Amino acid sequence: MTIYFISRHAGAVEWAKQEGFAVDRQLTHLDVDLIQVNDWVLGTLPINLIAEVNARGGRYFHLTLDLPAARRGQELSAEDMRQLGTQLVEYTAQRVA
């Protein structure tokens, strides 16, 4: 099992480290061909990639936070993310057509 953290934001990467997530590979872009059964993917992926991760037997955990409109487009530090209640929540998706 491999744990991937997908993010291009330094604050998110630092947040994951400080929260103790045992990330095996930190990437700025996910190549779904890497995913194998029981791998975990952490990040903020589009729905089509989430469905592909799940179809390959992987698990997807979405980086969620309550971001006020005034903070959109700003880089957040790990501390900012903690204050905003950031958490990882597991989701599944399936393509139906």
Q: Which helix (H) or strand (E) holds 49?
A: helix 47-55
Whether 96 is in a domain gets the answer no
61 and 5 Cβ atoms separated by less than 8 Å: no
In a domain, 33, yes or no: yes
Burial class of 26 by CB neighbour count within 10 A (0 to 12, 13 to 18, 19+): middle
Could you tell me whether strands 87-91 and 59-64 are parallel, antiparallel, or unpaired per DSSP bridges? antiparallel
| Structural domains of the chain, count | 1
Q: Are 58 and 35 in contact (CB under 8 A)?
A: yes
Q: Is the pLDDT confidence value at 70 over 90?
A: no
Asked if residue 42 belongs to a domain, the reply is yes
Q: Is 0.75 topped by the overall pTM?
A: yes
**Does residue 97 lie within any of the structural domains?**
no
Cβ-based neighbours of 68, under 8 Å, separated by 6 or more? none
Look up residue 53 and give its two tokens.
């991760």
Judge whether 71 lies within some domain: yes
Domain extent for 63: 3-91
Cross-sheet strand order for the sheet of 25-27: 25-27, 3-6, 40-43, 59-64, 87-91
pLDDT for the residue numbered 71 = 84
**13-44 pLDDT tens trace:** 999 999 999 999 999 999 999 999 999 999 99
